[in-house]
Amino acid sequence: MNASPSYWSFFAEHRAEILGATADHMMLVVIAMLIAMAIALPLGMLIVERPALRALSMGIANIFQTIPSLALFGLLIPIPFIGGIGRRTAIVALVLYALLPILRNTYVGLSGIDPAVLEAAEAMGMTSAQILFRVRFPLALSVILAGIRTATVITIGVATIAAEIGAGGLGTFVFRGVALVSDSLILAGAMPAALLALLSDCLLGLLERRLRVA
């Protein structure tokens, strides 16, 4: 693909549309990420002490992750309430994809803490809740954030495909571009999406390094 001057002029002419689609795209990602975190963070805390629930929930999250995104959208459409054409179905699919990285890292972070530290906490008479929120959680924070970062990047990418089921966002340009064999249209969707992914990766990576302990 050659990013010829025609591409730049195309970009300039359709600036408003592209910015609008970028905003829609970010909205999709933010909503999906918030829901995924609301599910995966507490679940990750819960499975630290419960091996059976851990195997089950990680197994399920893993299955969603292995289904190709187009297939997952397709599978969701006929399901009542969560399915159909549009944003809601797209968000459900994005949440399902984001679950595993957050869940896995929350569990790994919380369970990978120096046993001597946990023993000290217990021996000093901290309650289980105090150990979780004052010791485990702060020590696991950078690992958990790494999971959130991975999930965010995945979600930004998968969200482009969500345009296929009418969810809007930057994917709209990509699919239209593919249909019309127009490089400019494809790039108008792909470039901002790639930039979004890079930017969130960098920012979250920065935050993660700042929160790392020892």
Partner 1 sequence: MNAKIESFSGNLIEFRDVSYHINDIPGRAVISGVSLAVPLGETLVLLGRSGSGKTTLLRLINALYLPSQGEVLVEGRPTAEWDVIRLRRGIGYVIQEAGLFPHFTVAENVGLVPSLEKWDRQRTTARVGELLRLVGLDPAEFADRHPRELSGGQRQRVGVARALAADPAILLMDEPFGALDPVTRTELQKEFKALAGRLQKTIVFVTHDLREALLLASRIVLLDTGRIAAVAPPQEFLRMDHPEVRAFVASLGAVPGAPV
Which of 22, 130 has the CB closer to partner 1? Answer: 130
d(CA 125, CA 92): 42
d(CA 172, CA 193): 11
The CA angle 12-15-21, to the nearest 5 degrees, is 145
Q: Answer yes or no whether residue 130 interacts with partner 1 by CB under 8 A.
A: yes
Type of residue numbered 81: F
Which of 104, 136 has the CB closer to partner 1? Answer: 136
| Residue position matching structure tokens 């340009």 | 173
CB of 111: closest distance to partner 1 in angstroms?
16
Q: Answer yes or no whether residue 213 interacts with partner 1 by CB under 8 A.
A: yes
| Residue position matching structure tokens 């990418």 | 157
Which of 17, 114 has the CB closer to partner 1? Answer: 114
Q: Answer yes or no whether residue 126 interacts with partner 1 by CB under 8 A.
A: yes
Site string for partner 1, 102-121 (x = CB under 8 A): ------------x-xx-xxx
Region of 128 on the Ramachandran plot (φ > 0 left; ψ -120 to 50 alpha; else beta):
alpha
Q: Answer yes or no whether residue 124 interacts with partner 1 by CB under 8 A.
A: yes
CB atoms within 10 A of CB 25: 25
Q: Answer yes or no whether residue 13 interacts with partner 1 by CB under 8 A.
A: no
| Residue position matching structure tokens 């004052």 | 134
Site string for partner 1, 55-84 (x = CB under 8 A): ------------------------------
Q: Answer yes or no whether residue 138 interacts with partner 1 by CB under 8 A.
A: yes
The CA angle 178-195-17, to the nearest 5 degrees, is 55
CA 165 to centroid of chain Cα atoms: 19
Q: Answer yes or no whether residue 135 interacts with partner 1 by CB under 8 A.
A: yes
Q: Which residue of 1, 68, 125, 179 would you call a contact of partner 1, by CB under 8 A? A: 125
d(CA 107, CA 20): 37
Q: Answer yes or no whether residue 129 interacts with partner 1 by CB under 8 A.
A: no
Which of 120, 195 has the CB closer to partner 1? Answer: 120
Q: Answer yes or no whether residue 122 interacts with partner 1 by CB under 8 A.
A: yes
Which of 31, 126 has the CB closer to partner 1? Answer: 126
The radius of gyration computed from the CA coordinates of the chain, to the nearest angstrom, equals 20
Which residues contact partner 1 by CB under 8 A?
A: 114, 116-117, 119-127, 130, 135, 138-139, 213-214
